[in-house]
Amino acid sequence: MSSLREEPLGSVLVTGATGQVGRVLVSTLLAKGHRVTVLTRTPEAARQLWPPDSVALRQADLANSASLKSAFEGIDTLFHLASYAPQPNEPNIYNARGHWEVTAVGTANLMAQLSASRLKRLVYISSIKSMGDQAGTLGRPAEESAVPMPNTLYGQAKLTAERHLLELGPASGIKTSVMRLPMVYGLGDKGNIARMVAAVAAKRFPPWPRIDNRRSAIHVEDVVAAAILIAASERSETEIYHVTDGQTYSTRWMYEQILRGLNRPIPRWTLPLWVLAVAAAGGSVAEGLARRRMPLTIGALRKLAGDAWFSSDKLHRTLGFTPRHSLADEIQRLTQQRLA
C-alpha cells in the first residue's frame, strides 16, 4: 500500500473498540500480531467480541476523569474512536447532548493524562461532520484545508476534540494525526447502506428522483487500513486526512444498483422531490412531538438529496493510500444476501 518508512506501533490502546469500526480495527490489529488493549465502560461487551486473553481490558469512562488515570500505562500507540452512540429511537441524533459530553469533554479528560504517559503516537478517527454540512456542497470535493464550520452539536464536538488533540498531543511529544470519515459501509447489517438495501427490499423506499447529488463513502476495512498506515507513517504528524474510496455516489445511483442487485425492474416514474419535502417536514414535526426518531425528516432528506463530497487526494499523494473496496461491490454483496 505504501513504500514509505513505517514505525512499529508497539503496544496499542483502542477506545471505542466495541463500535462498528472499532471492532474491525481491533480484529485487524490482532491478526497482524499487535498487542492490543481495549479501554471500555463495558468489559462484558468486549469479552463477547474477541477470544479470552486475546486483548487486555481496561475499564474506564471518558466522562469520569478519575477512571482514566492509568489509561496510557505501558501504551505506545492510541487509536481514539470513542463516541456517543444515540439510542435507537433518539430524535435529532446529531444534536444529542451526549455528543458533547463524550466526544469533547471525554476527549479532554483522556488527554489530561498525557503528560505522565510514554505514548508515542495517536490517531483520532473523527468525522467529516466536523467540517459542517456546507463543506461538501461546493460543487467540488472539499479538501482538508477548507475552513470548518460545523452546524450540529456532533460536528462541533468532533472539531473541538480534533483541535484539543492536535494542540496537546504534539506539546507532549506525541505524533498526533486526525482522520475524517464520510459515510462508512461494509458494516454487515448496520449502517446507512444496509438500511437502504433493507428498505428497498421491503418496498419501503420510494422511486427516487433523478437527482445527481455527490456523496463520498469508505469501506470499514479501508478505514482500518488507513488508520494503521497513518499511525505507522513518520510523515503524518499533526496532519488531518479525509478518508474516502475516491469515488462519488448519488442516491439515485444507489437506488438503481440495489434494484438491479435484487433483480427488480427500475420504475419508469419517480416521486417528485416536493412530495418528499412535504413528507419530511411532517416527519420532523412528528419527531419533535413524539420525541422519537422518524424514518424521514428534513435532516434525513437533506442527506439523501444533497451533496457530501470530499477529497482524499492528500492521503493518496502523501502516504500512498489506495482503497481496495467500492460501494458497488458492497451493494452487490448485500443484495445477494437478500436473495440467498
Q: Where are the domains of the chain?
A: 11-186+219-247+311-329
Mean pLDDT of 203-228: 96
At residue 167, does pLDDT exceed 70? yes
Write the DSSP symbol of residue 47. H
Alpha carbon 129 to its chain's center: 10
Q: How far is CA 73 from CA 174, 278, 306, in A?
A: 15, 55, 45
At residue 305, does pLDDT exceed 60? yes
Percent helix, strand and coil across the chain, each rounded to 5?
A: 45, 15, 40
The string of pLDDT tens digits covering residues 272-282 is: 999 999 999 99
The string of pLDDT tens digits covering residues 91-144 is: 888 999 999 999 999 999 999 988 778 999 999 999 999 999 999 999 999 999
Whether the CB-CB separation of 311 and 143 falls below 8 Å is answered with: yes
Spatial neighbors of 161 by CB under 8 A, at least 6 apart, are 103, 104, 107, 108, 124, 126
Mean pLDDT of 32-53: 91
Q: Which CATH number fits domain 11-186+219-247+311-329: 3.20.20.140, 3.40.50.720, 2.30.42.10, 3.90.1150.10?
A: 3.40.50.720
Whether the CB-CB separation of 18 and 6 falls below 8 Å is answered with: no
At residue 7, does pLDDT exceed 80? no
Q: pTM, whole model, 2 decimals?
A: 0.93
At residue 159, does pLDDT exceed 90? yes
Report pLDDT for 207: 96
Report pLDDT for 4: 54
Alpha carbon 31 to its chain's center: 22
At residue 164, does pLDDT exceed 80? yes
Element (H, E) at 77: strand 77-80
Report pLDDT for 1: 45
Q: What is the pLDDT confidence band of residue 258, given thresholds at 50, 70 and 90?
A: very high
Report pLDDT for 6: 62
User: What distance in Å separates the CA atoms of residue 16 and residue 222, rounded to the nearest whole number?
Assistant: 18
Question: How is residue 293 written as a grid cell?
Answer: 426518531
